[in-house]
Structure 1
Amino acid sequence: MQKIKVLIVDDSAFMRKLIQDFLSEHPSIEVIGTARNGEDALKKIKVLSPDVVTMDVEMPVLNGLDALQKIMNDHPVPVLMLSSTTKQGAENTMQAMSLGAIDFIAKPSGAISLDLYKVKEELIQKVISASKANLTQLSRDSRGDYAKRTTTPSEDCSKIERKGPISGTRKKTISKKLICIGTSTGGPRALQQVVTRLPKNIDVPVFVVQHMPAGFTKSLADRLNSLSECIVKEAVDGEIAERGTIYIAPGGFHLTVKQMGTSLIIQLDDVTPPRGGHRPSVDVMFESISHINEYSKIAVIMTGMGSDGSQGLIELKKTGVVTAIAESQETSIVYGMPKAAVATKLVDEVQNVEKIAEAILRYI
């Protein structure tokens, strides 16, 4: 069996050794080298051709963000960032994701995490996941196509022409609608592609689950809000969902939606155990929305490992008027969650990520 070749980049010798020891324990991972800063990393990537790079953010000579930008321009390879949970650390992480990092690990404490063992299994699994990333899409994003494609919102909703029926089994039109989106690895970039293309006059609420730990979803929401015509915010427990607003589930909390009279109420829960290792979980959100009557729903599943969202999609389709859209294999950074959704045979459209917003608007 061919092993996953990993290069570890960190200015701390202690952290380099700790990460190397953790990864080397797994039979399918081989640490082929370490680097003490971004400049050192660039040289070693050219010589060693790793399958995955783990990268610290704060380093001397050339920091992780600048190094990442050069890596993705010159020699695209899946990069996994190690990030602190401070506000600045979270903002740097969101910037790293926009520059091409495939995913990140939140350090449990500080720059030198003596308790890094707490995320050992997550680190191993994310390295394995990163090794399976769609390098063609990473390369396309790194050339700047991604940034260029996220600057123009879609047309006014009223001007979108819907192509074809929503579903042959649907007998009636429901005026009230909502959108629910689930994504994981590669999701921040996919969300940016979709959210920045939704016009400010979109007359529905949008609920989003992005697999991400506590402390990072606020920075994700703030970044998307700064780039979008719509309001994007981290969801708050008990708030009434407003049309034209996009709600991001906070890391560490399941997000559910409940109908009370004519309003939709957001509920957050950090007590119910993770589903499939995830809290927030796409399945949990989708299942809660399946109980909402008098609304038609557009459910979107995009890039990510695993199958979160598929069981929830089944429940959605059992109970109401639902249009399901999955991201294509071509543009998914990791074609796991969309593939599992397509396997249910309940997906109405498969679209490249840059076409998903247009597809959503056709059904609105």
Structure 2
Amino acid sequence: MPFRVLVVDDSNFFQHRLKDIINEHPELKVVGIASNGREAVDKAAELKPDIITMDFEMPVMDGVTAIKHIMSNRRVPILMFSSLTYEGAKITLDALAAGALDFIPKDFAEVSRNSEVLKRKLHERLITLASSGSRSVVPPLATMTPPSTPAPTVATPSSFKPIASPAPTTAARAIPTVPDEPVKTSGADNYRLKNKPKILVIGASTGGPVALAEVLIALPANFPLPIVLVQHMPENFTKAFAERLNKQCHIRVREAVDGDQLQPGLALLAPGGKQLMLDKRNGGSVRVLPDDERVNYKPSLDITFGSAANNYGDKVLGVVLTGMGSDGCNGARLLKDAGSSLWSQDEASCVIYGMPMAVARAGLTDKVLSLKEIGPRLVREVM
């Protein structure tokens, strides 16, 4: 039975093109169309779709407000159509905070020319998100605030080739097939980091903006490690996301620029559309490099993990959060070969259990943790 889709958009052209594109896939069927947010709320309650596509700028009620109303009645996966601008990024982050699971660029040119790339991308996202159901246990970003308890004062501690990840072309390939290995689930009382890390690298994709916020909000201002963040996002989005995180967290967060120094309590977010590598010389810094066509993800966690392994050996703590695909698995292998530690998010708390599943099933994970455990566990193990 195909997944039932509700299309929400105020453009008649976009409504009908989306309907035609979505209905081309045998696993998808458009069961309703809404022209504004208010109508979307009513039709979501009436039709109970498996997934909703949502525009952000509409009359009567905007997309973000509609998401809040829909989620208050019944949790349903929502895919946002977003403008690839700084302002569009801020609105999209508001939508993710309200409960949307993912976003896709709204490109009238691609829709008009019946782009096969757009079709594959849209079909894959809709099927994958609809398959995840209403699983999203993370509190909305808008309501998450830093803990009020002051953090204790502690003393601060003292040639890689890009790995191309094949682009997933179907929903089935979004969750990678890898050999089944026992997942390491060390007990909370007996697991300890084998080496004291000098840097923390965290990667995520689908569901990552909310997950990263939950982890980082738990860290105190005097967190003793420099942090590097890799979130699959387009150009323009990462700047807005870093600014949002910086307002929410005790630690400092900003979008990385080439040459930025690594500092304790500072999280540098890899810019969208580029790659981020590490350089341990002169106290440690980041290199922000132009896009490489051989690499599917921009930024890629594989590249940053591999660079961390090259520069810091066994002194890295890598964390893989929710996300579609398997980016990070090859880089995680390099981290493990160098003697570093790796944690991954558990299936129950992931929006999409793809990236964490890949490293766990490959036997690369030292510790599997729920999302709510990761931040507090970082404080306990590192400080």
Provide TM-score, normalisation by structure 2: 0.84
Partner of 2:349: 331
Q: Secondary structure at the match of 1:298?
A: strand
User: Hey, what's the Cα distance between the residues in 2 that align with 1:281 and 1:157?
Assistant: 34
Name the CA shift for 1:115/1:199 in 2 (closer, same or farther; >3 Å). Answer: farther
1 or 2 for the larger relative contact order (CA 8 Å, sep ≥6)? 2
Name the CA shift for 1:201/1:109 in 2 (closer, same or farther; >3 Å). Answer: farther
Partner of 1:51: 50
Aligned-residue CA RMSD (Å): 2.4
User: Hey, what's the Cα distance between the residues in 2 that align with 1:153 and 1:194?
Assistant: 16
1:341 and 2:370 matched: no
1:206 and 2:201 matched: no
Residue correspondence of structure 1 range 274-313 to structure 2 within 5 A: 275=295, 277-293=296-312, 296-313=315-332
User: Hey, what's the Cα distance between the residues in 2 that align with 1:83 and 1:348?
Assistant: 37
User: Hey, what's the Cα distance between the residues in 2 that align with 1:156 and 1:32?
Assistant: 54
Percent identical = 34
Conserved 8 A contact 2:335-2:341: no
Partner of 2:337: 318
Structure 1 residues 237-246 or 94-103, which shifts more?
237-246
Partner of 1:189: 210
1:69 and 2:95 matched: no
Conserved 8 A contact 1:187-1:303: yes
Partner of 1:245: 266
Residue correspondence of structure 1 range 24-173 to structure 2 within 5 A: 24-108=23-107, 114=112, 117=115, 119-133=118-132, 135-137=134-136, 141=139, 150-152=145-147, 155-156=151-152, 158=154, 163-166=189-192, 170=194
- What are structure 1's unaligned runs of at least 5 residues? none
1:257 deviates by: 1.0
Equivalent residue in structure 2 for 1:271, among 286, 291, 300: 291
- What are structure 2's unaligned runs of at least 5 residues? 156-187
Conserved 8 A contact 1:303-1:327: yes
User: Hey, what's the Cα distance between the residues in 1 that align with 2:375 and 2:307?
Assistant: 23
Letter aligned with residue 242 of structure 2: A
- List per-residue Cα deviations over 1:192-246 (Å, max 9, x = no partner): 1011111100121111111111111111111000101111011101222222110
1:157 deviates by: 7.1
Partner of 2:236: 215
- List per-residue Cα deviations over 1:151-185 (Å, max 9, x = no partner): 317853759xx954535xx4xx55x6110011011
- List per-residue Cα deviations over 1:287-346 (Å, max 9, x = no partner): 1111013661111111111111111111101013x2211111111111111111111222
Letter aligned with residue 73 of structure 2: D
Conserved 8 A contact 1:282-1:309: yes
User: Hey, what's the Cα distance between the residues in 2 that align with 1:319 and 1:134?
Assistant: 38
Structure 1 residues 112-121 or 62-71, which shifts more?
112-121
Conserved 8 A contact 1:78-1:102: yes
Letter aligned with residue 244 of structure 1: G
Provide TM-score, normalisation by structure 1: 0.88
Conserved 8 A contact 2:320-2:356: yes
- List per-residue Cα deviations over 1:64-121 (Å, max 9, x = no partner): 01100001111110001111122221111111111111001122369x9756846333
Structure 1 residues 265-274 or 281-290, which shifts more?
265-274
Structure 1 residues 72-81 or 27-36, which shifts more?
27-36
Partner of 2:20: 21
User: Hey, what's the Cα distance between the residues in 2 that align with 1:153 and 1:101?
Assistant: 28
Aligned length: 348
1:37 deviates by: 0.7
Q: Secondary structure at the match of 1:222?
A: helix
Q: Secondary structure at the match of 2:250?
A: coil
User: Hey, what's the Cα distance between the residues in 2 that align with 1:341 and 1:270?
Assistant: 27
Q: Secondary structure at the match of 1:132?
A: helix
User: Hey, what's the Cα distance between the residues in 1 that align with 2:243 and 2:143?
Assistant: 20
1:27 deviates by: 2.3
